[in-house]
Amino acid sequence: MKQVGWLIVLSLFLFTGCSKMNIEKDHHQVPDFTERHSVADTITVEFSGIDLMMEEMSVEEKIGQLLIVGMSGKTFNGEIDRLIRQNKVGGIILLGKNISTPSGIVQLLNDSKKANEGNDIQLLLSVDEEGGRVSRIPAGMKKLPAASLIGQKNKESFAYETGIYLAELLHSFGYNMNFAPVLDVNSNPQNPVIGDRSFSSDPYKVASLGMSVMKGMTDNGIISVVKHFPGHGDTHIDSHKALPIIQKSLQELKQTELVPFQKAIDENVDMIMVAHILFPELDKEYPSSLSKKIITDLLRNEMHYNGVVITDDLTMGAIVNEYTVAEAAIQSFLAGSDLLLIAGDYQNQVDTFDTLVAAVESGIISMERLDESVKRILELKNRYELDDKVIEEIDVKKLNQKYDELMS
């Protein structure tokens, strides 16, 4: 195991209120990587309340907010209850292993909200709902086609409508965040993990259609997480199993892989997921999700992204083949990530929490660095109307009818 001597922390508190984003029309030209674009350039919000809350928060509360955790089983259990009530995690993710019936998902999310009632900050309730083969919609409900089919249709208006449909679909269960759309460019036909999850092999088409789907969701209250930065489209290894390596220079990445992500940054994307891929031309030692050269130097400093960065799942083979989950979490946080996604298991989640607390207390992670990420997360939550409203029931027939109208 590689030894990594670091930790990460995060913060607490949620204001409600959704701020609309100002989006410019797509232009098919090489992005300008020198001109500064950021969320702060176009959104002005009063954050004094967040600053005051952060002063009252403990280190443990801040660290809890850094974690998005998964769970075992299809029903709410004691482990996830403790993570929410005691560790005050920032959010949860439901994966395929958690999906049962429509009413079962609603109950699971309702139970999570109830567990969080004593906390001051609402949970991020997230899911991977891309459509196609990456879908968490239960049997009996219609799911969107793969992104490649949206790409073949090649209409921004249709892509936007799919984003609206996704928002209504996810709200009906009680979700408020979606790990979509995929902004990877399908440039490698041998890619085992992306393929038809991508809109196109054309980076500008990926950018325009991806932004349309994103805006359809965000305009209707769903936080969008675009993925997988700096680009997973040219790999031939599945990062769930092992570490992919892409031998491309920064200039080559700017011409293809980075085009959709720069467009997303220019259009005030909520959150960017960083992939577990080694880019030796950028960083010979660390995969992108753990790399300061990629997250801070490239994404934040050169591409001028000031929003929330989240890791891909830190329990994937690309990471755990070389690191413990806690080691990877510390390295990723110091590299510039804000949210750490840990799908399981419970012991990994608790160990990571404890290790991060110790890292802050020992000075490995400074309070300044911790507060930087905590504030980003709270600012994001502040822009959306997250609530703990209990969902009474889900109207499957109505949603299926809306799907038919969309696809007709």
What are the φ/ψ torsions at residue 229 (nearest 5 degrees)?
A: -65, 140
232's tokens: 């997973």
Rounded Cα distance between 383 and 379, Å, is 6
Rounded Cα distance between 274 and 232, Å, is 10
**Tokens 């890619």 belong to residue:** 191
The number of angstroms, rounded, from the C-alpha of 27 to the middle of its chain's C-alpha atoms is 26
Contacting residues for 143 by C-beta, under 8 A, at least 6 apart = 129, 131, 132, 135, 137
**Tokens 């030209």 belong to residue:** 29
Is 312 part of the annotated catalytic residue set? yes
The answer to whether 310 and 273 have CB atoms below 8 angstroms apart is yes
Rounded Cα distance between 260 and 254, Å, is 10
The answer to whether 9 and 370 have CB atoms below 8 angstroms apart is yes
72's tokens: 């075992």
β-bridge mates for residue 92, sequence order: 69, 125
Rounded Cα distance between 313 and 343, Å, is 6
Catalytic residue from among 26, 184, 234, 312: 312
The answer to whether 89 and 371 have CB atoms below 8 angstroms apart is no
Burial of 232 (0-12, 13-18, 19+ CB in 10 A): buried
DSSP code string of 275-290: P--B-TTT-SSS-GGG
Rounded Cα distance between 162 and 288, Å, is 30
Catalytic residue from among 81, 240, 354, 388: 240
Counted residue by residue, the chain has a size of: 408
Nearest Cα residue to 391 out of 185, 24, 110, 84: 110
Is 171 part of the annotated catalytic residue set? no
**Tokens 């298991």 belong to residue:** 345
DSSP code string of 380-407: HHHTS----PPP----HHHHHHHHHHHH
Residues designated as active site:
240, 312
